[in-house]
A and B are shown apart, each in its own frame.
Chain A
Amino acid sequence: MTIPAYGARGRRVRPPRASGLAARLRPFAVVALVATVMGVPLWLIVSTAAKSQSEALSPDLSPPSRWLLWDNLAQVWTQGDIPAAFLGSVLIVVPAVALVLTFGSMAAWILARRATRLNAVLYALAISGIVLPPAVVTIVLLLRQLGLAGTLTGMIGVYVGIYLSTVVFFVTGFVRTVPLSIEEAARMDGAGPVRVFVSVILPMLRPVLATATILICLYVWNDVFYAFFVIGGRMDTLPLNLFQVANAGLYLNNWHLIFAYIILMSLPLLVVFAVAQRRIISGITGGAVK
């Protein structure tokens, strides 16, 4: 009996990946890494948020002598104006995301389908905002001139303006992969452009719109920089509120309340993530590596 010279037929004879010892140690390395790099900061948040004021004065990793997590969360909820700030955040995020997706995909559809020289220029302009930073200071001046300073409308407009480029970029690339024949079939049945867009194109865009929704929600929900310039002091959002109370020194010696606030503020996104984790991961990675 001879031994076949060139490997085995089947794929099962995988060469031993990362030899013995290293492979067996790897899970321990993973656990150790997660525990130190993620575990320590996350434990600091939870344990500090559960301490009394005097215990949390100098935040450390010791467990709280009595767990006061619920009391602290309740205190932040009432004293920290969470309901108002939460409402402000929702009132900004929801319309901003809806508008940026609608307007962005409308424009992307035309830019992807009509390859004229004008459209190439318009496309370049539309996606320039992906890298170019918005002019935060003069936005304030402009909003004042438009009578939109410190208003919900102004804030929504600013976010839509900033993130349209991301949507146009993602969606245009996606529309180009959708065969034109699908649109034409609908057109044969007498559908006008609006019908074609709403009932043929939009449903096809669902995966890419899901990705864009997640990314933009993440950015807008957590933004404090643009919010500070546009609505600072007039309206509240969750991050803006955290920023102001932490800055005011009001909470300087109240680390337990700051961390309780951080927990409450991060919870909505964490819940969404826990529910839709698989879709989110495939959505984010799908767009990037092409």
Chain B
Amino acid sequence: MTVTSARRTHPMWFLIPAFAILFVFFFLPTLFNFIYAFTDWSSFKSEIRPVGLDNLTDLLSDGTLFSALRITVSYAVLVALFQNLFGFGLAVLLERDTWLNRVARLFFLIPVLMSALAVGYVFQALLKPHGSLNGLLGGLLGHPVSVAWLGDTTWTLVVVSVIHAWKWMGLSMLIYLAGLKTVPEDVTEAARMDGASPWQAFWSIRFPLLAPAVTFNVATALLGSMNGFDIVQATTGGGPARSTEILNIFIYRTFGQGLFAQATTMSLVLFLLVGLLAFPVIRTLRKREEIL
């Protein structure tokens, strides 16, 4: 196809609507991030003046920046870990196409459809000190249990990441199921005939072939949960003592206080964090796929 005929058959103006919207509603705000993070934009003043690196040094000096980064990255890693463990376990458990397994799969997809905010409120109710989970555990153990699931400065982050994983594990399960289906039956059978135990056949033959599913699931869980908000907001609101305050919670809170420049600075930090992590994460996972 020559250039002129391509110009006629596939005209570039087809790109205009999409790129116009991308430019105005995506690229331009991102560009603004790099400008307004270095100003004193707030709801208290009418003028916006440049202040250099003041916002950044403020956030650095009171330790907010590093604690928010640490919490966000820990949260994302925990979510990726739990979501993939749960999703993978479910896929293996429900792999065969019996009617019971089909029904079970549908149940695990309900939370995927529910709003994350709703999921958060449900677990807030479930995990109250005098709530249902402690009640159930108390019944099992035979003595009253009153664990403050959402009130611990160390472990609540883990609990919230488990909730996040609970909401999305159905999606990971579907993708692992699809991955398991791509492994031809003959391959496993051949391995069996060569004397591999079912355990060996699974881990050394089928599991490596799941690499594309692992890549997709780990990357989406990791990068998606860095941009999380709803579940944390609905369960803890960033508490206790800001120990679960991921970047988006900080942005939401400071924005609400009218400190727009600080919120913008954190928004820029989030952008850089995800941008810097996205490429190595995806590349490493891809490379591992090739080796296997």
Residues on A lying within 8 angstroms of B by beta carbon are 6-7, 11, 14-15, 17-19, 26-27, 29-31, 33-34, 37-38, 40-42, 44-45, 48, 58-61, 99, 102-104, 106-107, 109-111, 113-114, 122, 125-126, 129, 131-139, 141-142, 146, 157-158, 160-162, 164-165, 168, 183, 187, 193, 196-197, 218, 221-222, 224-225, 228-229, 238-239, 242-243, 246, 255, 258-259, 262, 265-266, 269-270, 273, 277, 281, 284-286, 288-290
In Å, the complex CA distance between A102 and B15 comes to 11
Interface string of B102-145 (1 = CB under 8 A from A): 00111111111111111001110110101110011000000000
Knowing A41-B122, A125-B22, A225-B230, say if A193 contacts B212 (CB, 8 Å).
no
- Are B135's CB and A242's CB within 8 A? no
Q: For the complex formed, measure the closest distance between the CB of B213 and the CB atoms of chain A, giving whole angstroms.
A: 5
Select from chain A the residue with minimum beta-carbon distance to B268.
A135
Contacts of A285 in B (CB 8 A): 174-175, 177-178
- Are B22's CB and A131's CB within 8 A? no
Q: A138-B36, A193-B10, A246-B234 are in contact. List 16 more A-B contacts (CB 8 A).
A: A15-B192, A33-B93, A38-B110, A44-B122, A59-B126, A59-B128, A106-B15, A113-B10, A132-B271, A135-B33, A168-B18, A218-B113, A259-B121, A259-B122, A273-B109, A288-B213
Select from chain A the residue with minimum beta-carbon distance to B27.
A125
- Are B18's CB and A126's CB within 8 A? yes
- Are B108's CB and A38's CB within 8 A? yes
- Are A246's CB and B178's CB within 8 A? no
Knowing A30-B100, A110-B10, A218-B113, say if A255 contacts B125 (CB, 8 Å).
yes
Residues on B lying within 8 angstroms of A by beta carbon are 6, 8-12, 14-15, 17-19, 21-22, 24-30, 32-33, 36, 41, 93-94, 98, 100-101, 104-118, 121-123, 125-126, 128, 130-132, 135-136, 166, 171, 174-175, 177-179, 182, 185, 189, 192-193, 198, 212-213, 216, 219, 223, 226-227, 229-230, 233-234, 248, 251-252, 255, 260, 263-264, 267-268, 270-271, 274-275, 278, 282
In Å, the complex CA distance between A102 and B108 comes to 32
Interface pairs A-B: 4 shortest CB-CB? A161-B25, A285-B178, A138-B32, A107-B18
Task: Jot down 11 A-B pairs with beta carbons below 8 A, ordered by A.
Answer: A6-B193, A30-B94, A38-B110, A38-B111, A40-B126, A60-B135, A133-B227, A141-B36, A161-B24, A164-B26, A225-B248
- Are A137's CB and B255's CB within 8 A? yes
Contacts of B177 in A (CB 8 A): 285
- Are A225's CB and B229's CB within 8 A? yes
In Å, the complex CA distance between A85 and B33 comes to 31
- Are A107's CB and B14's CB within 8 A? yes
Select from chain A the residue with minimum beta-carbon distance to B230.
A224
Q: For the complex formed, measure the closest distance between the CB of A31 and the CB atoms of chain B, giving whole angstroms.
A: 7
- Are A31's CB and B227's CB within 8 A? no
- Are B118's CB and A262's CB within 8 A? yes
Select from chain A the residue with minimum beta-carbon distance to B119.
A41
In Å, the complex CA distance between A164 and B228 comes to 20
Knowing A59-B132, A61-B136, say if A110 contacts B25 (CB, 8 Å).
no
Knowing A58-B128, A137-B267, say if A265 contacts B18 (CB, 8 Å).
no
Q: For the complex formed, measure the closest distance between the CB of A232 and the CB atoms of chain B, giving whole angstroms.
A: 10
In Å, the complex CA distance between A258 and B234 comes to 12
Q: For the complex formed, measure the closest distance between the CB of A238 and the CB atoms of chain B, giving whole angstroms.
A: 8
- Are B252's CB and A270's CB within 8 A? no
Contacts of B123 in A (CB 8 A): 41
- Are B252's CB and A135's CB within 8 A? no
User: Looking at the complex, which one of A18, A239, A288 makes contact with B115 (CB distance below 8 Å)?
Assistant: A239
- Are A134's CB and B29's CB within 8 A? yes
Chain A CB within 10 A, most for which of B128, B132, B135, B234: B132
Q: For the complex formed, measure the closest distance between the CB of A105 and the CB atoms of chain B, giving whole angstroms.
A: 9
Contacts of B98 in A (CB 8 A): 27
User: Looking at the complex, which one of B14, B174, B179 makes contact with A281 (CB distance below 8 Å)?
Assistant: B174
- Are A157's CB and B18's CB within 8 A? no
Contacts of B100 in A (CB 8 A): 27, 30-31
In Å, the complex CA distance between A290 and B212 comes to 7
- Are B10's CB and A29's CB within 8 A? no
- Are A122's CB and B15's CB within 8 A? yes
Contacts of B6 in A (CB 8 A): 113-114
- Are A161's CB and B21's CB within 8 A? yes
